[in-house]
Chains A and B, each alone.
Chain A
Amino acid sequence: MEDSVNESDAESTICYGDYVVLKRGDVFKSVQVENKKKVIFEKQWMFMDNAVGQFFGTKFEVQAGGSLKLKAVKTAGDSLVDDGRSQKLTRDDIETLKEQGLKGQEIVQQLIDNSTTFKDKTEFAQEKYIKKKKKKYENDVTILKPSARLLAMMYHGREPAKICHLRYDSLAQMLTLGNVHAGSKIIVFETCAGLVLGSVMERMGGFGSVVQMFPGGGPTRAGMESFGFPSHFHKTLHEFPLSKVNALLAGTLELTLRDPEEERKRRTEEEDTSRSVPNEGSVKEKNPEEEERMEASGDPLEEMKRVEREKQKEQRAQEKRQKMEEKRKRLLSAAALLQDLNADGLVIASRFHPCPVLMALLKFLAPSRPFVVHCQYREPLIECFTKLREQGGVINLRLTDSWLRHYQVLPNRTHPVLLMSGGGGYLLSGTTVDASAAKTSNQPQSEEPAPKKIKLDESSSPQGTN
């Protein structure tokens, strides 16, 4: 047990290169800890260097000049007192205080000291005043280890449009309804900056495999990177382009794989030659100085430079080819995972119309596996629902959204938080069943039990009343 404590402590100190989440109040920001890098958070510059070697969860104070200082535990600020002096601070005075490098706490104390009305306020109002002023002038920052919870709350608070307005409670539903867990093979299609992908990977814990389907040129993973997963997690992650899904399903991927590969090679070669020719030309045209130097090619230095340049070009081409080869290998490994059509789960959250995506990707799932689709809007999911009903091969279809309310809990002042989120998107979830069986046995049995069953399917009542 001693060992396990030490081990967990080792991984809970902040190091250079770590991804961390900064927190002040309810505001979060994800950053990577780098040497002497300036970070802006809540209108303040800061350097992360002093956090290195400290534990995650530590509270720091931002000092003048942006350096972080360990925050002393339990400071006097917790018991701000009112001594009722009756002079008022002007805006300029506060600015001066700030310039003097006074701590936020001290400024708040000054404000209280100088507020003539403070002592006349009720106890509750005083507390509220202090809280408000603290929020404005205190510059504490807590550095936390990233998690799906923190990043989902961060994205929802800062850039909801980037994650298709997927609220954290809806993300929670998706991970649970999708039965995402270690050892399974999960297909993810998302345009949520990589947040959904990262959350799925966190729940897999580096066991099993994740295939990220991506639109366009390549997958987006910034949100996933912010989780700071250990390197072995990345080995479980595969990617496959949506544009090759039809080919894979038709069994023609092998062919189309080779063609573009060769084509690409040809193209890169062409590009190389075509680039080198006009490059030299343009250099000659636009840079007479260079031209002169080139002409005086007797200069051995120039000659060396040119050889060097060509070498670099060759090297770059080599690297490019290697990258292509790497990409091809990854494509093949992802294809190998998909083509068995036995994936364990499907998670979709994108800005694309969910219907075609769902119809195509469902084919990769084994029977008796859950799928879940998020959409910011309800109507596209109604369409998905209807289409799936017609097509068969899925049961337990459910269109839902969740409603989230936060509470302020304080002695004699407990009530719902005044402002709540209007909506966190809609979810369509269900379970796959053997589609081939559905087709063959539909005809003989359609007379009696089938309609009955459909009726049962359609009558859905809230889970909570079960």
Chain B
Amino acid sequence: MSFVEYSEFIQEGDVVIIFLGRESMMPIKVQSGAQTQTRYGVIRHSSDLIGQKFGSKITCSKGGWVYVLHPTPELWTVNLPHRTQILYTTDIANITLMLDLKPGSVVCESGTGSGSLSHAILRTIAPTGHLHTVEFHAQRAEKAIQEFKEHKVSHLVTVRNQDVCKDGFGITHVADAVFLDIPSPWEAITHAKRALKHKGGRLCSFSPCIEQVQRTCEALLEHGFEEICTLEVLLRVHEVRTVTLPLPDFGPEDGSSDLGLEDASNSTNSSVNCKTATPPREIAGHTGYLSFATKPRN
């Protein structure tokens, strides 16, 4: 397996996603001789995982079962160990489209954070693109490098441990796109401009607060960026279920009150079932504003 290429069978060293339920998944690294505890019992890697097909059902020691899934950036996003706040798939999808990312794109990103977006970028730009990601925090940078290796995507990515606002991305005029998820993106616009190709490119900045957006957009305009556009996307999940709606009783139609008393007990039982989709009680109301811009040719 790799995060940029599907394979059919599970091998030693792979990362697999153990699926116990939608809200209950776990990523594990496959090692011969190793065991993983789940609430349905033990999974023995050598016998239960290695050589099995991705997508198959694995029976655990207590007789319960789980599915083993091929890792994807989307599954990784909901399973990765958090070292920071992360970007989720809804925002990632829009960032990817609006930055025109595709195989061969050269992308700059900062900060690397927990690598949620990084994996999605790598999947999209492989096999011919490259990601230059900058992480200020030394330990996080180290951890990201290690993860990229384990996920067999390290040939597509360069991690730099520096301050993007001071030192930039470490490259000049090679990037097709720049993504910023830092507290003061306006301080990195000069560096972003320098990182982008002479022929131009796209930029995206993710900020939770409108004041950050305001300053970033001003900086973008100052630096000659065009098509500046800020948007927000939220995902609404609909729960599919059958609901039962009781029918009210209006009494007998002829209006006779005597019989009405007897009939009442019968009609209270009548109800109608209908299939519907309802939103959950609470949903994420805000993640961040996405500001996009185009750097023109210079």
Contacts and interface: CB of A to CB of B under 8 A. Distances in A.
Interface stretch (A33-41, A121-129, A180-188): A180-188
B239 A183 contact: no
B237 A460 contact: yes
Given A368-B70, A456-B23, A465-B284, A402 B214 contact: no
Contacts of B40: 449
16 contacts: A8-B197, A12-B199, A147-B100, A172-B98, A181-B124, A183-B6, A366-B6, A369-B55, A400-B236, A402-B233, A405-B233, A433-B67, A434-B55, A456-B21, A460-B22, A460-B280
A415 B193 CA distance: 27
A9 interface: yes
A456 B56 CA distance: 19
Nearest to A55: B297
Contacts of A434: 53, 55-57
Contacts of A402: 90, 233-236
A149 B275 CA distance: 36
Nearest to A438: B57
Interface in B86-125: 88-90, 92-94, 96-98, 100, 102-104, 120, 123-124
Contacts of B69: 368, 431, 433
A426 B78 CA distance: 22
Contacts of B229: 406
| Chief secondary structure at chain A's binding surface | mixed
B237 A396 contact: no
Interface in B19-70: 19-24, 40, 53-57, 59, 63-65, 67-70
A202 interface: yes
A444 to B, nearest CB: 8
B89 A171 contact: no
Interface string A164-198: 00001101110111010111100000000000000
A177 B20 contact: no
Nearest to A9: B199
Contacts of B276: 382
Nearest to B99: A149
A152 B97 contact: yes
A403 B75 CA distance: 22
Contact of A403 (B78, B128, B234): B234
B92 A176 contact: yes
Contacts of A152: 97
Interface in B127-157: 127-128
Interface stretch (A91-99, A203-211, A305-313): A203-211
A319 B81 CA distance: 61
A176 B236 contact: no
B272 interface: no
Contacts of A57: 199-200, 294, 296-297
Interface in A90-114: none
Interface residues of A, number: 84
B126 A182 contact: yes
Nearest to B24: A456
Contacts of A12: 199
Given A403-B234, A461-B23, A463-B78, A449 B240 contact: no
Contacts of A444: 63
B230 A409 contact: yes
B232 A378 contact: no
Given A367-B53, A460-B280, A182 B103 contact: yes
A432 interface: yes
Given A176-B120, A203-B124, A368-B69, 5 more contacts: A148-B97, A402-B90, A438-B57, A445-B65, A463-B88
Contacts of A403: 233-236
A177 B56 contact: no
B22 A456 contact: yes
A463 B230 contact: no
